[in-house]
Amino acid sequence: MSAKSEKVWDVVVVGGGNAALCAAIEAAEAGRSVIILEGAPKTYRGGNSRHTRNFRCMHRGPLSVLTDSYEEDEYFDDLIRVTKGNTDEELARLAIRTSEKCLPWMESHGVRFQPSLSGTLSLGRTNAFFLGGGKALVNAYYNTAADLGVEVVYEAQVTHVEIADGRFNAVEVEIAGGARQRIEGRAVVLASGGFQGDIDWLARAWGPAARNFLIRGTPYNRGVVLKDMLDQGADSVGDPTQCHAVAIDGRAPKFDGGIVTRLDCVPFSVVVNKNGERFYDEGEDVWPKRYAIWGRLVAAQPDQVAYSIIDSKSANLFMPSVFPAVEADTLEGLAEKMGLPAEKLRQTVDAFNAACREGTFHPTELDGLATEGVEPQKTNWARPISDPPFYGYSLRPGVTFTYLGLKVDETARVTMGGRKLENVWAAGEIMAGSILGEGYLAGFGMTIGTVFGRIAGQEAAKGAVRGENAHAA
Amino acid sequence: MPLDQTRTGLSTTEEARRQIEICNACRYCEGYCSVFPAITLQRSFSDGDITQLANLCHNCRGCYYACQYTDPHEFQINLPKALAEARSESWERFAWPGAFSGLFQRSGVALAAALVVCFGLLFWAGQALRPESGEGFYAFLTHSVMVAIFMPAFLLPLFAISLGLRAYWREVGGMPVRLTHLTRAFSEAARLKDLSGGAAGGCNFEKEDRYTNVRRWHHQAVMYGFLLCFASTASATMLHYAFDMPAPYGLFSLPKLLGIPGGLLLALGGLGMAVLKTRGEKDLGAPALWGGEMAFVLLLFFTGASGLALYAASGSALVGVLLPVHLGAVLAFFLTAPYTKMVHGFFRLAALIRNAQMQE
Ligand SMILES: Cc1cc2nc3c(=O)[nH]c(=O)nc-3n(C[C@H](O)[C@H](O)[C@H](O)COP(=O)(O)OP(=O)(O)OC[C@H]3O[C@@H](n4cnc5c(N)ncnc54)[C@H](O)[C@@H]3O)c2cc1C
Ligand code: SF4
Ligand code: SF4
């Protein structure tokens, strides 16, 4: 490893996910020497990007696998709706507009998209799906980077970014648990993701409840670099007390459960807390629009857990789940298996069933089949839970990402005390809060990472040359 | 005989089911091959469903390198391996007579021994039954002796395989076959669609997560080489019986025009497959079968190469040695066919036909 630290690299890239790889490829194509410091071991390389599925892309007409058109204004409106206006419009429009050119760039750098053959994907117009998912994308980029001569070091945990007089000089890094070493560079791109892997930090921000949260993505995003930068006075964006949490299967692994732990049964169920009480309208809207809300709702319940209960009528109405449901022929039997108070559950379900009324049930649209005279009301898909066998799933909050990040300008340059740092750029989740201040838009994380990763790589490549000249002068 | 089990306590079928259920909740690999669209048709999987899915898989490994849940992740997904093991177990279950099940599939040594026995047999026949006169090959072995040996060696294995196919069809719940099913299945087989990786344009067999078409090309060479050789023999039989034109045939005869390219393709493809096998990660297939599969592709190579050598030697004294060697290879190939990797061709076709029915 010593050779790596003897050399002064043109561009040092911190992190090894989508944003980092896009930056590294751009910088290498500009002829710079590039080193990627990926904190994870090779098998887990790629951070949260390895769990992704798609990329939201603007297009003025059919583009690759994307049908029809999806233009800037519609895309921006979608963003405004989820963020409730909490976005930097200039940066957001830049990301949206540039996304159109990114898709062909991705294809020409090895990413393969899934032809829209499957009926299950309702996002075929707005989102391009990666063939094989995010890990296949990450693999393609690592191969491209290797072909371009980029040096990749795995298990390289960056602990400190040395900044003096507004200039970056080197990073401190621990490689494979070894002694701390310095790696010098003329420019740095910070693309090390959010801090959701650091449960203590989450607990400081959210309160002790966060210790019961599950983390949907990588355990390697612990915000070490983000914290180091903030401690040195870098400007921040986003709300430190916020994170994006959805309701997922309560049996999911603590980390890296990824996509399969989602549970889509809630709209067809009654959801109770550990005391057997309902607490929110399960049928408020279609699940993709509500799953984020349920993350918070479950987080507010005792022990941060809830239970979704359906009967045999609904067993096949949603995507198959990764863990089989708990099953019983009676509600009491189900309560016992799930550790719920049987009598209370019976009362809750009886009260709910009594409030259901006749009407037509439409699983795929808002059907207005609402309860009457029960609190809370269920406003759609309300059918009695009555036909055995009964099925239950436990729910817990699953964190997707955190919002607090570094503030950047339209060239992805990081600022400190309102002044641009000379040679420090940031891309991806570490700066996404600039654009996605709240809520979440499917496929936008990869858009931000790709757009700003590429910009950061190009700018860092230029910056590295300037740095070189400055040294020579 | 149970194979390696990924999760302790789970049978091969249960382990494949466990993984398939995870894939069904994920579906990221939907575009690689026919397995994933078939998975999404169902929520729960009977043993027969697992057998069907296992036989649809071509071990291209696209889904392994794309998977976010491979070891050391606690889900421990290795679908190519799980399906390879379920697949070979199904072939053992369907093998008839059961006593031979797994013998050649599992052991390259058994296959080599069969080859030697077949050489010996033909040398012996050649010595003992050498004709008084005859031209070309028939100077060494008369046509009637060849027919007496090869007719049963061809028909018996076909019979055994057809019994296996019947058992397969029952297990996977097959329905009456229609022309549309056949057209679709044969077109997919002809293109080796499931080795194409879909939009990936290649598979991950020998270069880890990089895509190449090398395995597809070699497999194609073997498949078409075999079919050409087969057509060559069939055409020779036709010429012999229907047109009274016995061997030897000249370069511009049908048997040679089919046989020479066929032999070349078979030899090159077989060798290529053998080389690829040494490069691919063993643990993404069924490791217990590696030796048997290797022996099988080498036998393919040897059959093609010895046939070409025999043709090159025509007229020389070498024919006396090369003829029994080549025919011995052919004999070994046919006799062991119901118990070697050769059956995958038949079961894959059956799986493709069944898949065409299910996708309707
Ligand atoms: C389950 C799941 C599904 C998702 N699905 C989608 C989707 O379909 N579409 C979409 O657009 N978005 C999706 N997202 C969000 C998306 O994953 C992120 O927005 C995106 O991956 C961010 O990319 P990134 O490169 O900034 O970070 P990451 O991909 O997380 O990469 C961060 C990298 O930094 C490394 N790192 C961290 N700390 C250090 C350190 N100190 N030193 C060195 N390296 C370090 C990590 O190992 C990692 O490689 C999903 C998220 C999750 C959790
Ligand atoms: S192999 Fe892995 S990534 Fe592919 S569908 Fe299955 S679980 Fe998902
Ligand atoms: S190994 Fe290839 S053919 Fe087999 S299931 Fe995976 S992607 Fe399909």
Does residue A458 surpass a pLDDT of 70?
yes
**Residue B142 reports pLDDT greater than 90:** no
Q: Are A16 and A153 in contact (CB under 8 A)?
A: no
Question: Which pLDDT value is given to residue A472?
Answer: 54
The band of B7, judged by pLDDT with boundaries at 50, 70 and 90, is low
Mean per-residue pLDDT, A168-182: 95
> Which residue in B24, B28, B201 is closest to A133 by CB distance?
B28
Q: Has residue B348 got a pLDDT over 70?
A: yes
Phi, psi of A235 (to 5 degrees): -75, 145
Q: What confidence score (pLDDT) does residue A289 get?
A: 81
Residue of A nearest to B29 (CA): A132
What residues form DSSP beta bridges with A425? A189, A413
Q: Select from A131, A136, A322 the Cβ nearest to the Cβ of B25.
A: A322
B-chain CB neighbours of A256 within 8 Å are: 68, 73
* Residue ID of nearest Cα to ligand 3 atom 6: B63
What mean pLDDT comes out for the span B73-87? 97
> Which is more confidently placed, A439 or B73?
B73
Q: Where is pLDDT greater, at A364 or A35?
A: A35
Is 90 exceeded by the pLDDT of residue A466? Answer: no
pLDDT for the residue A115: 86
Q: What is the pLDDT of residue A303?
A: 96
A193-A174-A408-A472 Cα dihedral, nearest 10 degrees: -150
B213 close contact with A: CB closer than 8 A? no
Residues of B in contact with A322 (CB under 8 A): 21-22, 25-26
B156-167 average pLDDT score: 96
| Residues on chain A touching B62 (C-beta within 8 angstroms) | 132
Measured distance between the N- and C-terminal CA atoms of chain A, rounded to whole angstroms: 31
pLDDT of residue A291: 81
Query: What are B96-139's pLDDT values in tens digits?
Result: 898 888 888 888 889 888 998 888 888 888 777 777 777 777 77
The pLDDT confidence band at residue B1, using thresholds 50, 70 and 90, is very low
- What φ, ψ does residue B357 adopt, rounded to 5°? -65, -40
Choose from B21, B22, B27 for mutation: most chain A CBs within 10 A. B27
Segment 59-118 of chain A within 8 Å of chain B by CB = 112-115, 117-118
Which among A43, A113, A256 is the nearest to B199, CB-wise? A113
pLDDT at A357 over 60: yes
pLDDT in tens, A6-23: 799 999 999 999 999 999
Query: Which tens digit of pLDDT belongs to each residue from B238-270?
Result: 898 888 888 778 888 999 999 999 999 999 999
pLDDT at A471: 58
Residue A1 has pLDDT above 80, yes or no: no
Taking an 8 Å cut-off on Cβ atoms, the answer to whether B26 and A260 are in contact is: yes
Question: Is pLDDT at B45 greater than 60 in this prediction?
Answer: yes
| Exposure on the CB side of residue B357, measured as CA atoms within 13 A | 15
* Closest by Cβ to B66, choosing from A132, A142, A143: A132
Contact between chains at B65 and A139 (C-beta distance less than 8 A):
yes
Mean pLDDT of chain A: 94
CB-based contact A118 B37, cutoff 8 Å:
yes
> What does the alpha-carbon distance between residue A33 and residue A26 come to, in Å, rounded to a whole number?
11
> How far is A201 from chain B, CA to nearest CA, in Å?
24
Query: What pLDDT does A470 receive?
Result: 65
Structure confidence at residue B130 (pLDDT)? 77
Write out pLDDT tens, residues A242-253: 888 999 999 999
pLDDT at B5 over 50: no
- Which residues have C-beta within 8 Å of that of residue A112, sequence separation ≥ 6? A130, A131, A132, A136, A140, B199, B200, B201
3-state secondary structure of B212: strand
Percent of chain B clearing pLDDT 70 (strictly above): 98
Stated length of chain A: 473
Tell me if the bond preceding B248 is cis, omega within 30° of 0: yes
Check whether B27 has a pLDDT greater than 80. Answer: yes
What's the pLDDT at A423?
97
Q: CA B360, CA A470: separation in Å to the nearest integer?
A: 68
**Mutation for testing the B interface, residue in A106, A112, A144, A155 having most B CBs under 10 Å:** A112
Instruction: State the pLDDT at residue A38.
Output: 98
For A44-58, what is each residue's pLDDT tens digit?
A: 999 999 999 999 999
Higher per-residue pLDDT: A147 or B149? A147
Q: For B76, name the nearest residue in chain A, comparing CA atoms only.
A: A257
- Average the pLDDT over A212-239 and give the result: 96
pLDDT at A363: 93
| Whether the predicted pLDDT of A473 surpasses 80 | no
CA of A397 to the centre of ligand 2 (A): 23
Please count the residue pairs, one from chain A and one from chain B, whose beta carbons lie less than 8 angstroms apart. 92
What lines the ligand 2 site, CB under 6 Å? A 133; B 22-23, 26-29, 63, 66-69, 77, 79
Residue B117 three-state SS:
helix
pLDDT band per the 50, 70, 90 thresholds, residue B54: very high
Query: In this predicted structure, what is the pLDDT of residue B4?
Result: 43
Residue A147 has pLDDT above 60, yes or no: yes
Contact B24/A at CB under 8 A = yes
Interchain CB contact of B65 with A (< 8 Å): yes
Tell me whether 0.90 is exceeded by the ipTM.
yes
Distance A33 CA to ligand 3 centre (A): 37
| Chain B residues closer than 8 Å to A131 by CB | 31-32, 66, 198-200
Contacts of A113 in chain B (CB under 8 A): 199
Instruction: Chain B: give the shortest CA distance to residue A182, in Å.
Output: 30
Cβ distance B26 to A258 less than 8 Å, yes or no, reads yes
User: A126 C-alpha to center of ligand 2: Å?
Assistant: 23
